[in-house]
Amino acid sequence: MSEKLYSEASVKLPSLPQLQEIARNLDVDVKEDELKEYQALMQSLCDGFSIIDKLPEPGLPVKFPRTPGYRPKKENNKLNGWCWRVDIKGSKQGKLAGMTVGIKDNVGVAGAPMTVGCAALEGYYPEYDATVVTSILDAGGHIIGKTSCENLCVSGSSFTSHSGPTLNFHNPLHSAGGSSSGSATLVASGDVRLAIGSDQGGSVRLPAAWCGVVGLKPTFGLVPYTGVVGLEPSIDHVGTLTKTVEDCALLLEVVAGTDGLDHRQPPDLKIPEYSKEIQINDLTGMKIGIVKEGFAHDNADPKVNKMVRGAVTNLMRRGAIVEDVSIPLHSLAPVIWNAIGIEGFTDTALQYGGIGSGHYGFYPTSFTSFAAKSMRARMNDSSHVCKLIFMFGEYLKSKYPGQFYSKGQNCRRLLIAEYQEALKEYDVVAMPTIPFTAHKLPAQGLSVTEYVHKAFENPVNTMATNLTGMPSITVNAGFIDGLPVGAMFTAKKFDEVTLLKVAKVFEMMTQV
């Protein structure tokens, strides 16, 4: 085998002009004779990399048969929530037996295209199933499609995908929220019972709130992110979207747990039977803190604030103690998030193919190579939001390299400390998921400024728990002018049981 590996070099030795250009870009002064020595030394490195290139690499299992699938026609995709239809039936028995499932288009499903909402990534077909996909199929789930998502998963609204806007089931003239837009509106419409999304700044909870469904961002690391395209490894979460809290608990049971390949996960995770743990009717003895800062935004709708505060306070009728609490740094969460997310996402998307680097686990080599090259070659296929982030991210890297990313990572500890202090006193804290109802989908021809503002006006309350890593869930609190309003609850890390109990009783009270 070794002779065959050495037989052909797949990594070419850089030419002297190439090395001269690299040296100039690095501001390295190299004499011509020295450059030749460097080139000669690189020959053995190229030989070694050629060997690595020919070694077979372990991947992720693909356990269940499937056909290639198809792109749905408009008449069969009226909400534009599907980007691809498949028919993958899992085990005949299991907790999800026969339940239909939609998978967000940044999650690997072998044989189905994965564009992450961006035309630059058209033509990529993963050869692997993400861990959550395998878990769902092992539990009997029936995956019936890839759901639309926003351009590179960076928008709180639903108009940035290359496949066009995703419509809100409750009013098609309004946004479904993002970036897991298709997952939310298809659950709301009943086209699918369960759906998977990802959440970096609210991308599960924002569309769930605007579509009136249950959206859970679990504790950081509870659900393996393996095989899912991310924004920045320290804020990436896989989440669930369902019609009911019970379905949410059941799906979480299936997808949670360590897979040994995700560096975010503690090795000793123990997963309770959430669906059995939440069979309660009251919250006697539980304390709920209403976060004052979550109601204090300039663009908050007083009617939304009043509805959420009233619905949460109503839990006192089921034995809960409800009081106001202050988490001052909650208001600065978007600023801290930007310090981490802008430079981090720029690196993740443009250098590391949407995966990140420097950690143990599974790396989808085919995607990282495809995405890194495609994004550099087809940058204009990214949205205005992504272009803004990439340009400012490159500026930060050139003028303040690592300074604000590092400061943001350190300052998030201050936010974590404030949330931990509040959760010493309260079992959960609550606020509006979004302090206003879904805006109308914008017409074409927006200016860059209008486009960016529409795409990023709503994650003011959700970003905090991507930074703290605490579990957070949105449940419908009611409707204003026919549009859903979400209430968001947050609990201590890995205390999804308490979080789901509160969400379950809240759901019971608001449906009365």
Given the residues 104, 217, 454, 492, select the one marked as catalytic.
Answer: 104
Given the residues 155, 157, 163, 179, select the one marked as catalytic.
Answer: 179
Size (the chain), residues: 512
List CB contacts of 495: < 8 A, sequence separation 6 or more: 219, 471
Contact 208, 177 (CB under 8 A): yes
Residue 229 identity: V
CA distances from 239 to 42, 45, 147, 328, 381 (A): 45, 42, 14, 27, 27
Instruction: Confirm whether 366 is a catalytic residue.
Output: no
Secondary structure of 196-210 in the HEC alphabet? EEEECCCCCHHHHHH
DSSP SS3 for 410: helix
Contact 151, 386 (CB under 8 A): yes
Residue of 471, 415, 456, 490 whose CA lies nearest to 177: 456
Instruction: Confirm whether 104 is a catalytic residue.
Output: yes
Distance CA 6, CA 8 (A): 6
Distance CA 99, CA 14 (A): 53
Q: Where are the alpha helices (DSSP H) in 296-383?
A: 302-313, 333-350, 365-377
Contact 251, 218 (CB under 8 A): no
Instruction: Confirm whether 203 is a catalytic residue.
Output: yes
Helix 384-399 / helix 403-425 crossing angle, nearest 10 deg: 110
Distance CA 470, CA 300 (A): 24
How many Cβ atoms are within 10 Å of 257's Cβ, its own excluded?
A: 16
Sign of CA dihedral 200, 245, 487, 149: positive
Contact 163, 424 (CB under 8 A): no
Q: How far is CA 23 from the centre of its chain?
A: 38
Given the residues 148, 203, 382, 472, select the one marked as catalytic.
Answer: 203
Q: How far is CA 329 from the centre of its chain?
A: 23
Distance CA 107, CA 149 (A): 11
Active site residues: 104, 179, 203
